[in-house]
Amino acid sequence: MSTATSLPQLYSFGHALDMADDKIGVLRDSCDVADDVAELQRRFAKDGYLYLKGYLDRDEVLGARASLTERLAAADVLDDAHPHLDGICKPGSGYVFKPELTNNNPAVQKLLYTGRLPEFYRRFFGEEISHYDFTWLRAIGPGKGTNPHCDLPYMGRGTHRHMTCWLPYGDISFELGGLMVLEGSHRRMDLLEHYVYRDVDAFCENKPKEADAAKAGKWAFTGTLSHNPLVVRNKFGGRWLTTEFRAGDFVTFGMFLVHASLDNRTENRLRISSDSRYQRASEPIDERWVGLNPPGHTTAGKRGRIC
Ligand SMILES: O=C(O)CCC(=O)C(=O)O
């Protein structure tokens, strides 16, 4: 296992990360215990995540990448002077969030929701599983990655024991910037309790100011924990953990783990990844993410409550 001292300077959300050994490190690969459910569960409880390096069929992932880059080209995001598969974006493409590219996309649907990946969750959960129909597809151009947050505020209306699967469609160098997770943060409920149970789509209908703002589409709470990964780490302790990913890898984690991503410091390349969600079929599911046209964070997904 490499140590932080062998890592290059890394950046997240516009900040140079502290590269001291006790502040940053690499994700632990759990492929060695991929068939040992008890050990996977033990590691998940302790670390808050599992990183399965090369667990998926690389060619299948690259096939899914091809389907996505063709759609990104059709959406005018790519520079046509280069092969689409290279994912070279037009200048200023920014942070492209396009879940619709996964709809009617057999290669992505097959990869995420049939075969080896759902089978992993079936074994891990020890029962039949359900998954959200909504797939978060990110094609992040040069610039800032994702700020530190937990997933529960976006998807906490059903079970709280579901899991995110973060999957790269291609190799992701440190420069291109993949996911990073904050070690042990899921166990810091003392710091999370006032943040993590808030619902980004809920508002107090008995508070006129909040109700009016909600009607105007203005939301005070975006789900962001902080815009500064250094501040978060200093508060929570632990290390930011990341790695250079390869097509075929995935990382899975629970709703309480603080995570973010490295910035994309390439000149013109897109970092393409998806996050999808899996849970025990016997547990309630968040209705915002289910169905042909899930309401998600649209007006239909908003919920007024008496506070
Ligand atoms: O890909 C990213 O930059 C962020 C991913 C994320 O927040 C998630 O998987 O929940």
Give bridge partners of residue 237 from the DSSP assignment: none
End-to-end Cα spacing for the chain: 49
Average confidence (pLDDT) over 236-252: 98
How remote is the CA of residue 146 from the centroid of ligand 1, in Å?
A: 7
- Establish if 3 belongs to a structural domain: no
pLDDT for 131: 98
Least confident segment among 52-66, 76-90, 293-307: 293-307
Rounded to an integer, what distance in angstroms lies between the CA atom of residue 120 and that of residue 163?
12
What is the distance, to the nearest Å, from the Cα of residue 229 to the centroid of all Cα atoms in its chain? 16
- Establish if 97 belongs to a structural domain: yes
Tell me, what CATH number does 64's domain have? 2.60.120.620
pLDDT for 211: 78
pLDDT tier for residue 258 given thresholds of 50, 70 and 90? very high
- Indicate if the pLDDT at residue 2 is higher than 50: no
Number of domains comprising the chain: 1
Which alpha helices (DSSP H) does 30-188 contain, by range? 37-47, 58-74, 106-113, 116-125
pLDDT for 4: 54
- Establish if 277 belongs to a structural domain: yes
Cα four-point dihedral sign 67, 72, 76, 79: negative
- Establish if 5 belongs to a structural domain: no
Is residue 145 within 8 A of residue 254, CB to CB? The reply is no
Ligand 1 pocket residue status of 274, Cβ below 6 Å: no
- Indicate if the pLDDT at residue 225 is higher than 50: yes
- Establish if 222 belongs to a structural domain: yes
- Establish if 182 belongs to a structural domain: yes
Query: Beta strands 179-182 and 271-280: pairing type?
Result: unpaired
- Establish if 42 belongs to a structural domain: yes
How remote is the CA of residue 307 from the centroid of ligand 1, in Å?
A: 30
- Establish if 305 belongs to a structural domain: no
Ligand 1 pocket residue status of 179, Cβ below 6 Å: yes
Ligand 1 pocket residue status of 105, Cβ below 6 Å: no
Rounded to an integer, what distance in angstroms lies between the CA atom of residue 169 and that of residue 185?
27
- H/E segment holding residue 215: helix 208-215
The DSSP symbol for 102 reads G
Least confident segment among 86-90, 235-239, 296-300: 296-300
Average confidence (pLDDT) over 246-275: 98
Q: Kindly report, residue by residue over 186-220, the tens digit of the pLDDT.
A: 999 999 999 999 999 888 878 888 778 777 777 77
How remote is the CA of residue 228 from the centroid of ligand 1, in Å?
A: 16
- For residue 270, the enclosing domain spans 10-296
